[in-house]
Amino acid sequence: MRTQPWIKDALKQRGFKLKDLAETLGLPPPRISDIVNGTREVQSDEVIPMAEMLGMSVRALLLSLAAGAPVPTQEGAHATLPIRGRLTGSGVLEPLPDDMALREVAVPLDATSPEGLSCYLMGDDSLAQEIRPGSLIIAADPRKHFFPMTPGVILLVSRPGGRIAARQYHRTASGEDWLVPLPEKPNPAYESWPFRLMPGARADSTGADSVGTGDIVAGVLWVTRRYSD
């Protein structure tokens, strides 16, 4: 991570101090000092309000944070993504909490296009070994963005009844492909499904329903853990 001393000057030019930025972001002042000193990254839910306070476009802020110095741009407003809801292990997409002020996030700087991207809040512990509850994820439609469909990737899967669930692609030692939950403690409420890479495959030899590549809604490419301190 780079140090960000320029943030102090940018705030001063607009009549603000670090404590004002801390208040805007809902953070203790020491966390802002951590950002300036290069020991804490700006989280995705902090980018938009921070850019507004500094009088910058979101893209200019992201470029500046990457460079560790102000980077002016001539572009207009940077694209944002609405947070669609809370992903759960059952596949039910729950609404965001009423008291959650954050409703959109900036499109990642290294995204080739906002088209085909979607943002969700991880609503439970069904993937806690990889994605903690409360984390923000941005997933990409495989028909619009390339990502390797290889073991280890987190996929969003379409299920009956309009459900959408996140699972990790896992290959067993015997070569079987599965989409599995990753809770810290086993939970039978979170289903695993055989994963068929061949088009049209819908069930395994036991008759169990399986997931095919056509059921993959998106692959998770960006994850940001949200911090309260």
Whether residues 38 and 125 share a domain: the answer is: no
* 90 lies in some domain: yes
CATH number at residue 31: 1.10.260.40
- pLDDT of 118 higher than 60: yes
- 3-state class (DSSP) for residue 158: strand
Whether residues 43 and 154 share a domain: the answer is: no
Whether residues 62 and 164 share a domain: the answer is: no
Mean pLDDT of 135-158: 91
Of the three residues 46, 67, 88, the one that is the final residue of a domain is 67
- 3-state class (DSSP) for residue 10: helix
* 179 lies in some domain: yes
Whether residues 101 and 131 share a domain: the answer is: yes
* 72 lies in some domain: no
- pLDDT of 115 higher than 80: yes
Model pLDDT, residue 200: 54
* 180 lies in some domain: yes
Whether residues 91 and 154 share a domain: the answer is: yes
Whether residues 60 and 115 share a domain: the answer is: no
Q: Which residues partner with 140 through β-bridges?
A: 117, 219
The strands making up 80-87's β-sheet, listed across from edge to edge, are 104-106, 80-87, 117-122, 136-140, 216-224, 154-159, 163-171, 177-180, 193-196, 211-212
* 74 lies in some domain: no
CATH number at residue 210: 2.10.109.10
Model pLDDT, residue 74: 59
How many domains are contained in the chain? 2
N-to-C CA span, the chain: 19
Strands (E), 75-210: 80-87, 104-106, 117-122, 136-140, 154-159, 163-171, 177-180, 193-196
Domain that holds residue 130: 79-229
Per-residue model confidence as pLDDT tens digits over 12-27:
999 999 999 999 999 9
